[in-house]
Amino acid sequence: MEDDAELFYRQLPKVELHAHLNGSVSVATMERLIARKPHLNIDHSMTAILKGQRRTLDECFQVFKVIHQLIDTEEDLLMVTKSVIREFAEDGVRYLELRSTPRADSKTGLTKRRYVESIIEAIRQCKEENVDTEVRFLVAVDRRNGAEVAMETVKLAEDYMLASDGLVVGVDLSGDPNVGHGKDFLPALQKARNCGLKLALHMSEVPSQKEESELLLTLPPDRIGHGTFLHPEVGGSQSLVDRVREKNIPLELCLTSNVKGQTVGSYQKHHFPYWYQLGHPCVLCTDDKGVFSTSLSMEYQLAAATFGLSREAVWTLSQQAIGCSFATDAVRQQLQQRWALLLPEVFPTSSCLHREPTALQTCGQGL
């Protein structure tokens, strides 16, 4: 039986801006994939990090390698993407930005273009089937693949930005943070910015990235993923904080991911309150809801319980995330109106009913 808190956080309209497609596959969908490919001898313990478990960052990336073996056809991609979108919608996510690195597989005939097209088709089908979530796609650059592939990926993103009726909106820089250096990707990222793509960059995931973060901030990114070691209390610097605040660059913060991946020691030690208390735009995200066995509702509930946020503060946090999205001004305005309409349902007896809807807030460079 769902208790009052669980019901509130599920009903809360939410914005998810940092969700890797392959890491967001649920246990139920994973069962379907495993059943399709029994010859791989994969079980669930290899595809998810359950409650109470932790893994090193390197072990987390090993989990993704297993998942990639299960998703290697256009049919797999279409099914997985639709399932992920539906699950986010069921969890109360009303705007979703998915991200994924285009992959090819010579054995199945999957190409990088068909990879992107399969995801776009899944988004379109969900729209036609009236799934109650507005979805956009970020094409991800995996730093493990090097600078040349990064440039090819950006070209792919540019092509589909122009050919997807606005569904492809940006580029993500991700992958193992201990591989390569941000300077190698600057030309590709600058090309992406020049052609109108938004930039969501994983930054300062590990302590050794201070110099790289300084370099990437010269672009600057439109949003920062994680930013775990930006601030001086954990080995970053005040100058990094000042530059992020000066540009008003939102942070995509993923509590469970950071704790289970052991880049943060505990929920209490997470960097969310550092930025939140500064009044800096912070967006709670799942990162990989399937791998880390979480949901966006759970992340909001965790943040509220850990950092003493009232339900009104949680509502504001959710609503402000709209302005940090890569959606058009028109879509953001529609989302603001949606939040205003949902307010009486979420707070049926609260004085919040009498507040004026929050004005459209815009975060980040160039939004």
Cα–Cα dist 6/223, whole Å: 29
Q: Could you say which of 158, 205, 212, 252 is catalytic?
A: 205
Characterize the bridge pairing of strands 223-226 and 198-203: parallel
3-state secondary structure of 170: strand
Cα–Cα dist 66/162, whole Å: 33
How would you label 224-244 residue by residue, b for 16+ Cβ within 10 Å and e otherwise? Answer: bbbbbbbbeeeebeeebbebb
Total number of residues shown for the chain: 367
Which residue has tokens 């099914």?
A: 79
Whole-structure pTM value: 0.93
For the residues of 84-118, what is the DSSP string, one character each?
Answer: HHHHHHHTTEEEEEEEE----BTTTTB-HHHHHHH
pLDDT of amino acid 52: 64
CA distances from 10 to 75, 324, 349 (A): 30, 21, 18
pLDDT of amino acid 65: 81
CA distances from 293 to 28, 99, 150, 214, 289 (A): 12, 18, 30, 33, 5
Q: What is the DSSP letter of 242?
A: H
CATH architecture of the region 4-354: Alpha-Beta Barrel (3.20)
> Shortest CA distance to 288 belongs to which of 73, 16, 9, 82?
16
Task: Judge whether 90 counts as a catalytic residue.
Answer: no
Which residues are within 8 A (CB) of 93 and not within 5 positions of it... i.e. 6 or more apart? 14, 15, 16, 133, 296
Please report, as a single letter, which amino acid is at residue 330.
A
Q: SS3 string of 112-158?
A: HHHHHHHHHHHHHHHHHCCCCCEEEEEEEEEHHHHHHHHHHHHHHHH
pLDDT of amino acid 363: 52
How would you label 201-222 residue by residue, b for 16+ Cβ within 10 Å and e otherwise? Answer: bbbbbeeebbebbbbbbebbbb
Q: Where are the domains of the chain?
A: 4-354
pLDDT of amino acid 57: 64
pLDDT string in tens for the chain (367-residue length): 568 899 999 999 999 999 999 999 998 998 899 888 888 888 766 777 766 677 676 676 677 788 888 999 999 999 999 999 999 999 999 999 999 999 999 999 999 999 999 999 999 999 999 999 999 999 999 999 999 999 999 999 999 999 999 999 999 999 999 999 999 999 999 999 999 999 999 999 999 889 999 999 999 999 999 999 999 988 889 999 999 999 999 999 999 999 999 999 999 999 999 999 999 999 999 999 999 999 999 999 999 999 999 999 999 999 999 999 999 999 999 999 999 999 999 998 754 444 433 333 445 543 3
